[in-house]
Amino acid sequence: MFNIIKMDLYKMFKSKTFYIMSIILIILILSFAILIKTTLSLNYDMAKEANFIYSVGDNTLNPSVQSPEEYYAIQKEIKSSVTVDDFIMIQYASSIMLIVMAAFIAKFVCSEWDTGFVKNIIPLNGSRVSLVVSKNIIVLLFVLIEGIISIFVAMGSNVLVSGKVSILDFKGIIIYIGLQILLQMAFASLMILISYLFRSKSVTISIGILLGMNVHAMILNQLDKLINIANIEISNLSIINNIRILEFSSEPEIYKRVIIISTAYFLLYNILSLFRVKRVEVN
Amino acid sequence: MGEYILKTENLTKVYGTTRALSRINIEVKQGEIYGLIGQNGAGKTTLLKMISGLGFPTEGAVYLFGENASTNGSLLERIGVLIEVPGLYPDLRPYDNLKLKYIAYGMNTKEYTQSILEQVGLAGVEKKKVKKLSLGMKQRLGIALALIGEPDLLLLDEPINGLDPQGIIEIRDMLLKLNKEKGVTIIISSHILEELSKIATRFGIIHEGELVEEINKEELLEKTKDRLEITTNDIERAVAVLEDNLNIHNLQVIDNNTIYVYERLEESGDINNELLKCGIKVNSLSVNRESLEEYFISLTGGRKRV
């Protein structure tokens, strides 16, 4: 098993996919900062026309702001109040990290099958199990690297918007990223399963994008309206919903739910992947 | 069972309603080069997949090195495979593709990688990306990958596909060298039957999922013995002259113009003279041997593509 993990690590760092996905991720999450900076720097008249005049503290429209001076003073205050914490939360809640990860998994896992390289490995004793375990380790590494990129890009974004690095709650960031990594790994195990089921990059990426964009939320919300069992909301059991609703100072119950849900999904999807890979015939 | 490196027992594979393999029993001894012959879709690739663990039989068993392969997974590690297309990452270099398999097999010998590339005639292209290699080069690289781990049994499905004549000779020599010097047992399928006949020591003929015949080279040579091929426009009189005047009875009329004679081949000049003396014009007369392809067609019935 250790050798298969080493092989996958070699492949990960030798192939362009890893570097391309990392660059795409940096560009996409950095675009949030550019967007925020642009929005906060809007010309007063344009801002008023576009209903972009916001009060400090929350994002509700504030028609009481009348003069450009007052507007710009508020803009400056908003800029200076933006922290690294905010950017990290935007990055994770936006699903961009999920979609980039889904693309990486689709390419990494499916290429092994569509190139036929897996034929060289399957004769190894225990290789079918090792392949699944190894993919999880590679994806964990990718998610950790995503997390590090997220922190650095959030710091850069903070400098871009407010000219300084401001961290409100360092411990909170660590807990938040830790829980997000758990949820991301649960989502990753689903994407690995989909890769093994379809062995097609395009199908896996398409499903990854749809799930990442939370398209299934509509169905879950309808189910919530139809079924009401012991006050359990089905949508609360969704990985994506939990990724989106998780905050820095969420209730302990939410933290607990995230840990249980992500662990359960991670185990379930990996068991299904193992069943699939152990039974699949190599074409 | 000890002398056999591979033995299959009633190996059967069913896909839905299609029976791809039906109760196949083959035996391959250590050191043999076993040629697998069959038309497209006959079941050759399916059989190789079942042996290598890439597929699962519906019924039956595969015995490798005297043990049931389904109960001892490590036996498959002694097999090198090249089935259908070479499994290569197109965006990586040949060296990296080889290294990936080395790592998976717990080996890490840079010199060995170089020597294996030289062995298959790929030295000098190791820095090119695989997608920039020709089809023949990819095929050689596929064979190189199959050789990693120093397998005792090599399963090669159409390994000379896409190779030029020089490449075919090089691969043939390489396989013969591996077989002779390292004692590697090889199972090879190819639709170029004449090429197969040059290296295989034993043949298995598969037709519509069934093993029609297993035959060794000596038996095949006996069955595909030399013959005198006579072509003439007067076939009936020619047969009469051969039988009545020359007392030749071991002959076969192939078509309206061709007769095969299987005796007195060393007297071809006398036969020709006798036919001419009787006023029969002989268009051609030559001593030939039945090819493996012709033998295969006679067994499976019909001139189909193999």
Q: Which region among A160-164, B175-179, B258-262 has the lowest average model confidence (pLDDT)? A: A160-164
**Domain extent at residue B257:** 225-289
At B79, give phi and psi (nearest 5°): -115, 135
DSSP assignment of chain B, as one string?
A: -TTEEEEEEEEEEEETTEEEEEEE--EEETT-EEEEE--TTSSHHHHHHHHHTSS--SEEEEEETTEETTT-GGGGGGEEEE-SS----TTS-HHHHHHHHHHHTT---HHHHHHHHHHTT-TT-TTS-GGGS-HHHHHHHHHHHHHTT--SEEEEESTTTT--HHHHHHHHHHHHHHHHHH--EEEEE-S-HHHHHHH-SEEEEEETTEEEEEEEHHHHHHHT-EEEEEEES-HHHHHHIIIIIS----EEE-SSSEEEE-S-GGGHHHHHHHHHHTTPPEEEEEEEE--HHHHHHHHH-S----
Is pLDDT larger for residue B134 or for residue A63? B134
Sign of CA dihedral B126, B131, B137, B138: positive
CA distance B45 to chain A (A): 10
Burial A205-242 (b: 16+ CB within 10 A, else e): bebbeebbebeeeeebeeeeeeeeeeeeebbeebbbbb
| Cα–Cα distance, A243 to A92 (Å, whole number) | 7
**Residue of A11, A116, A126 with shortest CB distance to B87:** A116
pLDDT tens, position by position, B11-36: 999 998 888 888 999 999 999 999 99
Q: What is the pLDDT of residue A266?
A: 96
**Residue of B77, B90, B104 with shortest CB distance to A4:** B104
Instruction: Answer yes or no: is pLDDT of A230 > 70.
Output: no
| Cα–Cα distance, B118 to A31 (Å, whole number) | 50
Q: Which residues of B touch A11 (CB under 8 A)?
A: 89, 92, 100
Contact B92 A14 (CB under 8 A): yes
Contact B76 A16 (CB under 8 A): no
Q: Are residues B144 and B278 in the same domain?
A: no
Q: How many contacts (CB atoms, under 8 Å) link A and B? A: 85
In the Cβ-directed half-sphere of B175, how many Cα atoms lie within 13 Å? 30
**B98-124 mean pLDDT:** 83
**Cβ contact B43:B55 at 8 Å:** no
Percent of chain B predicted with pLDDT > 90: 36
Find, among B130, B78, B142, B100, the residue nearest to A134 by Cα. Answer: B100
Q: Which residues of A touch B89 (CB under 8 A)?
A: 11, 15, 111, 115, 117
Percent of chain B predicted with pLDDT > 70: 96
Q: What is the pLDDT of residue B136?
A: 82
Best residue in B92, B113, B155 to probe A by mutation, most A CBs within 10 Å? B92
Neighbours of B298 (CB within 10 A): 12
Percent of chain A predicted with pLDDT > 90: 46
Find, among A143, A168, A163, the residue nearest to A92 by Cα. Answer: A143
pLDDT tens, position by position, A248-257: 877 888 889 8
**Cβ contact B169:B195 at 8 Å:** no
**Cβ contact B136:B162 at 8 Å:** yes
3-state secondary structure of A61: strand
pLDDT tens, position by position, B63-92: 999 889 888 878 888 999 999 888 999 999
**A229-247 mean pLDDT:** 80
Q: Are residues B95 and B22 in the same domain?
A: yes
Summary mean pLDDT of chain B: 86
**Residue of B52, B100, B105 with shortest CB distance to A10:** B100
**A190-197 mean pLDDT:** 95
**A17-30 mean pLDDT:** 92
Q: What is the pLDDT of residue B276?
A: 92
Q: What is the pLDDT of residue B193?
A: 76
Q: Which residues of B touch A7 (CB under 8 A)?
A: 100-101, 103-104
Tokens matching residue A256:
């607990």
Residue at which a domain ends, from B221, B245, B264: B221
Interface of A with B in 90-149 (CB under 8 A): 111, 115-127
Q: Is residue B176 domain-resident? A: yes
**Residue A278 contacts B, CB cutoff 8 Å:** no
| Cα–Cα distance, A255 to A262 (Å, whole number) | 11
Q: What is the pLDDT of residue A53?
A: 55
Residue at which a domain ends, from B178, B197, B221: B221
pLDDT tens, position by position, A82-94: 888 888 988 888 8
Q: What is the pLDDT of residue B303?
A: 41
Q: Are residues B122 and B212 in the same domain?
A: yes
Q: Any idea where the domains of chain A sit in the sequence?
A: 2-12+84-145+167-279
Contact A122 B54 (CB under 8 A): yes
- Domain of B276, CATH number, reads 3.30.70.980
Q: Is residue B271 domain-resident? A: yes
**Residue of A6, A123, A279 with shortest CB distance to B79:** A123
Give residue B304's pLDDT band: very low, low, confident or very high (50, 70, 90). Answer: very low
Burial class (CB in 10 A: 0-12, 13-18, 19+), A94: middle
Q: What is the pLDDT of residue A260?
A: 93
**Cβ contact B1:B66 at 8 Å:** yes
Q: What is the pLDDT of residue B306?
A: 41
Place of tokens 């225990």: A126
**Cβ contact A157:A83 at 8 Å:** no
Q: Are residues B24 and B91 in the same domain?
A: yes
Instruction: Answer yes or no: is pLDDT of A64 > 70.
Output: no
CA distance B202 to chain A (A): 25
Q: Which region among A101-105, A144-148, A225-229 has the lowest average model confidence (pLDDT)? A: A225-229
Place of tokens 């050759």: B44
Q: Are residues B153 and B268 in the same domain?
A: no
| Cα–Cα distance, A210 to B144 (Å, whole number) | 41
Instruction: Answer yes or no: is pLDDT of B1 > 70.
Output: no
Q: Which residues of B touch A282 (CB under 8 A)?
A: 49, 54-55
**In angstroms, what is the C-alpha Rg of chain A?**
22
Q: What is the pLDDT of residue B59?
A: 93
Q: Which residues of A touch B74 (CB under 8 A)?
A: 125
Residue at which a domain ends, from B221, B243, B276: B221
Q: Are residues B181 and B239 in the same domain?
A: no
CA distance B11 to chain A (A): 16
A56 DSSP assignment: S
Q: Is residue B300 domain-resident? A: no
CA distance A141 to chain B (A): 19
| Cα–Cα distance, A16 to B91 (Å, whole number) | 8
| Range among A188-192, B94-98, B132-136, B158-162 with highest mean pLDDT value | A188-192
Q: Are residues B207 and B123 in the same domain?
A: yes
Q: Are residues B67 and B23 in the same domain?
A: yes
3-state secondary structure of A251: coil
Q: Are residues B215 and B229 in the same domain?
A: no
Q: Are residues B259 and B156 in the same domain?
A: no
Summary mean pLDDT of chain A: 85
Q: What is the pLDDT of residue A207?
A: 94
Q: Are residues B168 and B243 in the same domain?
A: no
Q: What is the pLDDT of residue B60?
A: 93
Q: What is the pLDDT of residue A1?
A: 82
Interface of A with B in 2-41 (CB under 8 A): 3-4, 6-7, 10-11, 14-16
- Domain of B169, CATH number, reads 3.40.50.300
**In angstroms, what is the C-alpha Rg of chain B?**
24
For chain B, what is the domain count?
2
| Cα–Cα distance, A183 to A146 (Å, whole number) | 13
Give residue A109's pLDDT band: very low, low, confident or very high (50, 70, 90). Answer: very high
Q: What is the pLDDT of residue B173?
A: 86
Q: What is the pLDDT of residue A110?
A: 94
Q: Which region among A95-99, B31-35, B109-113, B144-148 has the lowest average model confidence (pLDDT)? A: B109-113
CA distance B74 to chain A (A): 5
| Cα–Cα distance, A197 to A173 (Å, whole number) | 35
Q: What is the ipTM of this complex?
A: 0.81
Burial class (CB in 10 A: 0-12, 13-18, 19+), B305: exposed
Q: What is the pLDDT of residue A56?
A: 46
pLDDT tens, position by position, A118-152: 999 988 888 899 999 999 999 999 999 999 999 99
| Cα–Cα distance, B223 to B202 (Å, whole number) | 14
Q: Is residue B197 domain-resident? A: yes
Residue of B nearest to A126 (CA): B73
Q: Are residues B28 and B174 in the same domain?
A: yes
